[in-house]
Chain A
């Protein structure tokens, strides 16, 4: 089954550490997204990408960076993690067209102590 895979699924780290969350997909989609989920705040867009040469900031990009290494890979980095970045992070791909469905990965739960 074509899918969206995130690693790691769970990570505990300390303030100031660099963290990378990786996402790979076998759906063949060009559009990839990183969302952050906090209780009561829904899903907030961090970054999105249409291809390896196109990276766009979302609503809450401060403190994050991304890399689109290939059509199938889109990684999210926290250069110096802080406690308020503790959250559940979702990678997603999107099908073709204006009505394309978002397909989410299983999520990466990050805890910053």
Chain B
């Protein structure tokens, strides 16, 4: 089955700096790659996603890039703010199953 590795497990950044989280996946047939954000004590919520026929997608301060050849994708957060502090999960999907990475705890220091 699919295996998703996510790095780093924790990330501390200064407010205003950028944050990058990287994920690799094992099944080259996976075709959909969402990112979820989980604030402390809350449920995970989708923040951005990308399909396998697209290389990059942006939404305001967040962007996701996908390299199908290397089987890796990344989340980029620019101009980080305190409200970006959360746990972020990447996932890879083939059909009906979503397989998640282990999560990255992001702390934005004021």
Contacts and interface: CB of A to CB of B under 8 A. Distances in A.
Contact of A40 (B4, B9, B36): B9
Interface string A39-67: 01111110010100000101100000000
Given A40-B9, A40-B103, A98 B43 contact: no
Interface stretch (A13-21, A73-81, A101-109): A101-109
Contacts of B6: 42
B96 A102 contact: no
A33 B100 CA distance: 13
B95 A98 contact: yes
A31 B93 CA distance: 14
Interface string A73-95: 00000000000000000100010
B97 interface: yes
Given A43-B89, A104-B44, A98 B32 contact: yes
Q: Which of B49, B100, B103 has the most CB of A within 10 A?
A: B100
11 contacts: A41-B102, A42-B89, A42-B100, A45-B97, A48-B96, A59-B1, A94-B96, A98-B93, A98-B95, A105-B43, A107-B43
Given A31-B96, A90-B44, A104-B45, 17 more contacts: A33-B98, A42-B4, A42-B103, A44-B100, A45-B97, A45-B98, A48-B96, A56-B96, A58-B97, A59-B99, A94-B96, A98-B93, A99-B32, A99-B49, A101-B46, A104-B43, A107-B43
